[in-house]
Structure 1
């Protein structure tokens, strides 16, 4: 279903600098999850520049593996699901609604995987951007701290009359904020195509209005939102407070910042298009 047979597994694992076991165990899942989050960036540049994002596995591999670019959740999940399928894992794709303080009901445009392994069900959320560095067991009230970053998983009513799950993160005031909600309804590649179409092309999508890039490291997360570049340490993420550093980038600096801080090498054409499009939107 997820075209694992088409995946160049050796190239993908080399992209992650992963040389561990290839057996479908929890230890393997945790190692792959961490390596993927640390190695493959989150970016919406194709949506911003072209309003077109392909989920064809060959094109996703070329972009995220061979060209070293990033992508957003649907691309990450297409790649990660193909790898897990190829390695023999059993999993279900899920759809989530990103909240992050929003009070209204937002569309279900976030993709994740629920992996059944060693008698446990683990939420693999590699495509959020500031993703957890490990999967989180699907247990009500499960509160975990993953390399200094706290998360809380609760089963609750997520929309009127519908129960599901809510993943929380610190709200900066000593409490919790819902990061995203989701149900266990299975999703399939065709469902992700629908969500991807809205995100890439929809007039109300935030991802085709401005560049948005994230890179997570073990000790910090860098985020570029339009022309605002923030850095949040793992200690800062533990409380959900303000970023440790915040600065404004000149549009002409964008290619260099992306290459240096975010590890995204754009082609000359992409770099020129990015600067021009941002300059146009700033005028």
Structure 2
């Protein structure tokens, strides 16, 4: 995608970042943390038949000016434009999501992520994985336990694909396997179309949102279930009841500027087609 016309000042204001702008590891740490906390992961437009647009102008209109979030392609495309505007050199990659699955599950490449090239080494930057998006850049090497403002994370090699894992309590949870080959933007367009139109994708029928919270917590919404997870693995869950509670969670807890009309339409979709019971494994 062409990054021309990117509003660097608008982006930095939206994420509340006021630190240095040199293309360093320290700056990258601040940007990942700020973006992840300010712009929630969400796929709500897909429920209403709106296929996400990935051009920079559309991403800015939605997430910077419109007060909305986005899912992986939207988030990491916007973040990539921001990094490039600051002079970072990076490579765009894809990953095979194995959250809640076997680590070697035969998964398609449906996730976008970035590798940022720095003097200290190559670092993964990913602000678009929802409830386990790293809140710090991660050195892209296997076998190193790395602290973040939230979980401890690491990569392990699985058949030539470095696999991101997150320590939840005393257990290592699989997140995704990284395909180590650069991707063209046209491949993201194809995958974006697939994930936002395929009838079996979870985004069509379910209200999904996530963001990192204070004190190393994570908050996730999957339809009526809202989960706050703590770094020791504990989770507190509550069930939403009625339009008023949904509106409060969407607007106040996730900071999403969703109209009352759209919210009502989303709740109708959930009532008609939404998953009942436990969340999809990607969003548990």
TM surpasses 0.5 = yes
Q: Quote the Cα distance in structure 1 between the aligned partners of 2:4 and 2:273.
A: 42
SS at 1:147's partner residue? coil
Q: Quote the Cα distance in structure 1 between the aligned partners of 2:242 and 2:55.
A: 31
Mapped contact 1:5–1:86 kept (Cα < 8 A): no
Instruction: Tell me the equivalent position of 2:239.
Output: 248
Instruction: Tell me the equivalent position of 2:222.
Output: 225
Q: Quote the Cα distance in structure 1 between the aligned partners of 2:81 and 2:60.
A: 10
Instruction: Tell me the equivalent position of 1:42.
Output: 41
Q: Quote the Cα distance in structure 1 between the aligned partners of 2:60 and 2:206.
A: 24
Q: Quote the Cα distance in structure 2 between the aligned partners of 1:250 and 1:110.
A: 32
Mapped contact 2:97–2:175 kept (Cα < 8 A): yes
Q: Quote the Cα distance in structure 2 between the aligned partners of 1:218 and 1:277.
A: 31
Q: CA deviation at 1:275?
A: 2.3
**TM norm structure 1:** 0.90
Mapped contact 1:251–1:275 kept (Cα < 8 A): no
Q: Quote the Cα distance in structure 1 between the aligned partners of 2:206 and 2:92.
A: 28
Instruction: Tell me the equivalent position of 2:263.
Output: 271
Instruction: Tell me the equivalent position of 2:211.
Output: 215
Number of residue equivalences: 270
Mapped contact 2:205–2:269 kept (Cα < 8 A): no
Which of the numbers 144, 147, 150 marks the counterpart of 1:145? Answer: 147
Instruction: Tell me the equivalent position of 1:102.
Output: 101
Q: Quote the Cα distance in structure 1 between the aligned partners of 2:214 and 2:147.
A: 13
Q: CA deviation at 1:171?
A: 5.3
Q: CA deviation at 1:147?
A: 2.2
Q: CA deviation at 1:177?
A: 2.5
Q: Quote the Cα distance in structure 2 between the aligned partners of 1:108 and 1:126.
A: 17
User: Which ranges in structure 2 are unaligned for 5 or more consecutive residues?
Assistant: 277-284
Instruction: Tell me the equivalent position of 2:67.
Output: 68
Instruction: Tell me the equivalent position of 2:123.
Output: 122
Q: Quote the Cα distance in structure 1 between the aligned partners of 2:249 and 2:120.
A: 44
Q: Quote the Cα distance in structure 2 between the aligned partners of 1:193 and 1:199.
A: 10
- State whether structure 2 residue 155 is matched by structure 1 residue 164: no
Which of the numbers 195, 199, 202 marks the counterpart of 2:195? Answer: 199
Mapped contact 2:96–2:110 kept (Cα < 8 A): yes
Q: Quote the Cα distance in structure 2 between the aligned partners of 1:167 and 1:83.
A: 24
Q: Quote the Cα distance in structure 2 between the aligned partners of 1:106 and 1:140.
A: 21
- State whether structure 2 residue 147 is matched by structure 1 residue 135: no
| Change in 2 beyond 3 A, CA 1:242/1:217 | closer
**TM norm structure 2:** 0.90
Q: CA deviation at 1:45?
A: 0.2
Residues 135-182 of structure 1 deviation map (CA, whole Å, 9 limit, x = unaligned): 00011201112124111111231xxxxx1100111355x332211101
Residues 55-76 of structure 1 deviation map (CA, whole Å, 9 limit, x = unaligned): 1211111111111111000001
SS at 1:113's partner residue? strand
